[in-house]
Amino acid sequence: MFLSEEIATYFILEKFIDLIDPSVILIDMSLPSLYLDAFLAVAQTQGFSSGASTLNITQSALSQRIKNLEEQLGLTLFLRTPSGAILTEQGERLLRYCQTRDSLEIELVQDLNGIKTSEISGTVRLAAYSSVLRSVIMPTLQPLLERHPQILCNFICADMNELPGLLQRNEVDFVVMDCKLDRANLETSILGQESYVLIESRTKSSGREDIFLDNDFADRATENFFKASGKKSLKYRRSYFGDCYGIIDGVALGLGKAVMPEHLVADNSQIRISKDYKHHKVDVILHYYHQPFYSRLHHSIAEVLVKKASQFL
């Protein structure tokens, strides 16, 4: 059930105030759109000068609006630093409120203009690591995106250690990781499991059997695989190939062995899966911030991923 914009905005804002500080009491629960637009411009551009340019107003006018908003809430929303405006924890929560507000406004305008309520539009912003973005996330969402051509996609392939920051800074709405983030106000769902195996070239042999290919120095897939196997750790050298597809190509060319998710190599005729080690299963976990209300787009993306992603793993 989707509430009217005024009712939904009231309850979202009320919930936002509760999350920040239960002691905060506002006589007037409304926040002027002028202030919220100013806040959103600074948050998205990470600067007062760039935010003012976005709104086509002076920097002093923008700063005054932010000051008025902070005084009305009794909160500091930005830390002013030489490198730019950094959101505080309360600012991050208000940014999520603004994004929810915008989604509700888009849906309301569609309804008012007679656009079919079954049509979903907006931009999905999702980040994931390389072994699942192309092979799992994209094909899972493809039918939904085909049915609703008004949906735009901002997909980011990032290293595992970069994903939490993308979500915290509100650069994306969803992240998919191979571990669960222990952070307040996060919703998580297990999409399935990747089954890691040891792979080697089926046709090439070049005396590089002690070299294992990883994404980068911080990649612990090989190390974790051997720990999980229960066998004595091997002594090996490491080479770095940038992403999982580069690693697979490197193994096929005989440049070393690797530990890879089985779903990426099962049909590769150039790759052999070693039978000397048992499979190591790792959860694939969807993360997003809890909101009192979700747009149709947000709800649809999460629902499809939870229900359908496992078929590609």
Mean pLDDT of 154-179: 92
Of 82-86, 175-179, 264-268, the range with the lowest mean pLDDT is: 82-86
pLDDT at 184 > cutoff 70: yes
pLDDT in tens, 14-49: 444 444 444 444 445 567 888 888 998 898 888 899
Residue 301 pLDDT:
96
Q: Would you place residue 112 in the very low, low, confident or very high pLDDT band (cuts 50, 70, 90)? A: low
Mean pLDDT of 288-298: 84
Residue 115 pLDDT:
56
pLDDT in tens, 50-67: 999 989 999 999 999 999
Q: Which residues pair with 188 in a beta bridge?
A: 287
Q: What are the CB-based long-range contacts (under 8 Å, 24+) for 147-152?
A: 148/119, 148/120, 148/121, 150/119, 150/120, 150/121, 150/122, 151/120, 151/121, 151/122, 151/123, 151/124, 151/297, 152/122, 152/123, 152/124
Task: Say which residue, 51 or 109, is predicted with more confidence.
Answer: 51
Spatial neighbors of 8 by CB under 8 A, at least 6 apart, are: 2, 104, 293
pTM for the predicted model, two decimal places: 0.76
The chain-wide mean pLDDT, for the chain, equals: 85
Task: Say which residue, 24 or 185, is predicted with more confidence.
Answer: 185
Spatial neighbors of 307 by CB under 8 A, at least 6 apart, are: none
Nearest to 12 by CA among 256, 292, 211: 292
Q: Are 144 and 301 in contact (CB under 8 A)?
A: yes
Highest mean pLDDT of the ranges 23-37, 60-74, 126-140, 288-302: 126-140
Domains and CATH numbers, the chain: 5-98 (1.10.10.10), 118-313 (3.40.190.290)
Percentage with pLDDT > 70 across the chain: 84
pLDDT at 190 > cutoff 60: yes
pLDDT at 293 > cutoff 80: no
Mean pLDDT of 122-150: 95
Task: Say which residue, 119 or 210, is predicted with more confidence.
Answer: 210
pLDDT in tens, 212-259: 999 988 888 999 999 888 776 678 899 999 899 999 999 999 999 999
Task: Say which residue, 125 or 10, is predicted with more confidence.
Answer: 125
